[in-house]
Homo-oligomer: A and B are copies of this chain.
Amino acid sequence: MIGNDIHKLAKQLWPYNRSLTGQGVIDTLNQISNHIPNLNIKSIKSGTKVFDWVIPKEWEVHEAYIVTPNGKKICDFSKNNLHLVGYSIPFKGTLSLNELKKNLYTLPKQPKAIPYITSYYKERWGFCLSQEQFDTLDDGLYKIVISSTLSDGKMNYGELLIKGKSDKEIFLSTYICHPSMANNELSGPTVVTFLAKWLQMVNQLEYSYRIVFIPETIGSIAYLSQNFKEMKDKTIAGYNVTCVGDDRAYSFVPSRNGKTISDKIGKHVLKWIDRNFVQYSWLDRGSDERQYCAPGIDLPIASILRTKYGEYDEYHTSLDDLENVVTPKGLNGGYWAIRKAIEAIEKNKKYKVSVKCEPQMSKRGLYPTLSTKAFDKEVKLMMDFISFCDGECSLLEIADNLNVPMWDLYDIAQKLESHNLIHVNK
């Protein structure tokens, strides 16, 4: 089960302090490069204007912690990088508990969880801790140490281009900016890493592939600002990959358009994997499809997920881990759902029957020679399939007409093609 390998990679990536920028991102990309050596690690300078936004300063953290009145070190960044508010500015000082509290963040309703908080675009500092720990804090003077830097540097991301028979591209995007969290986010880049490995082994891909590992929002905006025209020309389908690691549900978030081939294939695949998959609307979006499908951008990008961001209690807390939330089985399901969607797009051709009226199947050994009341199910499926090979129905549409998953038709199509009874209609 490939889910075990994916889970292993996620464990390796767990400790790095991913954010929009900084060493944690570089370390993550380097680890991924061990699996896909031709990954291009690229960068954009801080201060670069990207559409309505500006690439932020590079953030590094050397150490960060609080010392309590009785000398205990708490909220230690080196133990859990969620303790420090993302993009915290440097600060050293001594504060009373009341003063300190203005910079402490907890989740009263989830008292054991450390929340995940960031402040990318306003300079501030803060610590995150569990409500339970917060409640033990005594009055007195607290020593605060945040040794961080915010400096003109760069924002890194990874890009992989795979050549297929056609220049037309399928786009996969995943993000690498969240620190130690499992479903949202490590499931995304790890599943995409293994999808990239598989795609590079496939013989004769129909389409080319563009795969990016970027920080969320600012990363996709920056990438689009540099590649939009080419992507608009080439992209025929794609998925934003996030929250593909738990085993509690399958979910779908459509593109803004809602009727692109990514939407149709995504929903078809999920329906046949799990009749009860959760279908969200565009109003439930929340990741980089916000940029890829923005008005005027409108790329055909949807999301195939397990349990969606925002829809599970552990979301954006220290409880979103690789033990209780994300599992090898969950990752395995996420991997195969997206792989089946990619395979379906690759095989979604329009076939045309090569003879007028029904072909005589029996002379080719494809039909029983004795006509009785009974009728073979597989023969019926084949005859039904042929009856839709009009050169205009796609394999997806035929599968939907026949109420079967597309993959039930792959062998039939191949067999009929080998008998010259159908051919692809260009």
Contacts and interface: CB of A to CB of B under 8 A. Distances in A.
Given A283-B402, A369-B122, A387 B357 contact: no
Interface stretch (A31-39, A60-68, A133-141, A370-378): A370-378
A291 B386 CA distance: 12
Interface string A213-233: 000010011001100100000
Nearest to A107: B373
Contacts of A116: 373
A102 to B, nearest CB: 12
Interface string A76-103: 0000000000100000000000000000
A4 interface: no
Q: How many copies does the complex hold?
A: 3
Contacts of A370: 117-119, 122, 124
Nearest to A403: B283
Interface stretch (A9-17, A199-207, A292-300): A292-300
Interface in A362-401: 362-363, 369-373, 384, 386-391, 401
A358 B115 contact: no
B387 A117 contact: no
Interface of A is mostly: loop
Interface string A340-369: 000000000000110111111011000001
A355 B51 contact: yes
Contacts of A356: 51-52, 224-225, 228, 294, 296-297
A86 B369 CA distance: 12
B115 A357 contact: no
Given A283-B384, A353-B294, A390-B296, A121 B358 contact: no
Contact of A295 (B316, B353, B362): B353
A76 B76 CA distance: 98
Contacts of A120: 371
Contacts of A352: 295-296
A282 B317 CA distance: 53
Contacts of A51: 355-357
A52 B357 contact: yes
Contacts of A401: 282-283
A424 B132 CA distance: 52
Interface in A41-66: 51-53
A386 B256 CA distance: 12
A328 B317 CA distance: 57
A49 B393 CA distance: 29
Interface string A295-328: 1111000000000001000011100000000000
A16 to B, nearest CB: 20
Nearest to A361: B52
Closest 4 CB pairs of A and B: A295-B390, A122-B369, A52-B355, A291-B357
